Structure 1
């Protein structure tokens, strides 16, 4: 089964998580989600696997979050759409292994799904 990481190479936690996977013999499928944003369907799947609500997957301190007024929006579809249009809003890194997923915060958390 392929392990996938939704990765931002500029993020230290994302780099640490990728290095940890490799240290454990895992060469993941790397999705640089800022270059290749996930679709709304993909985000829905990630939310299901992570057992999170959209806002829980969002980086609420990002300027886009404030600029888009997302704190006042409760509609699930609109929050997911905001992440597809502004992938920087997504928390990172996300690691998926089959039907299991986790956030790499802290990076060691990904070891639970390997």
Structure 2
């Protein structure tokens, strides 16, 4: 099953959703600002993406700049920051079975469909 972690206010996320809709495949939308992933879900997503937790952070968000930027944070602290402030999670994230991709640019989503 395909899953997209989606924020409708984000143009890249909307474009990514359109790519999945156009594929005609079944999928699930996770509105991650409302249905916030827990620590284990984020760890699983990060593992599937093959990245480190800091690579999933939106570093231009005001929350990051004001509360976290320049601090020496552990991976667990970074994950905790994303759980507590889901706006920090990069988007869209698309998962298809055990494969995952950050849809930036949105066309990257096609690789795992």
Whole-angstrom CA distance in 1 between matches of 2:9 and 2:26: 19
Which aligned pairs between 1:18-97 and structure 2 lie closer than 5 A?
18-97=17-96
Secondary structure, aligned partner of 2:100: strand
TM-score, normalised with respect to structure 2: 0.96
Deviation per CA, 1:19-55: give whole Å up to 9, x if none: 0111111242000000111000000001000011111
Distance in 1 of aligned mates of 2:45 and 2:37: 10
Runs of 4+ deviating beyond 6 Å: none
Aligned residues: 113
**In 1: Cα distance, 2:72 partner to 2:40 partner:** 20
Residues 5, 19 of structure 1: alpha-carbon distance in 2 compared, 3 angstrom cutoff: same
Unpaired runs of 5+ in structure 1?
none
Structure 2 match to 1:103: 102
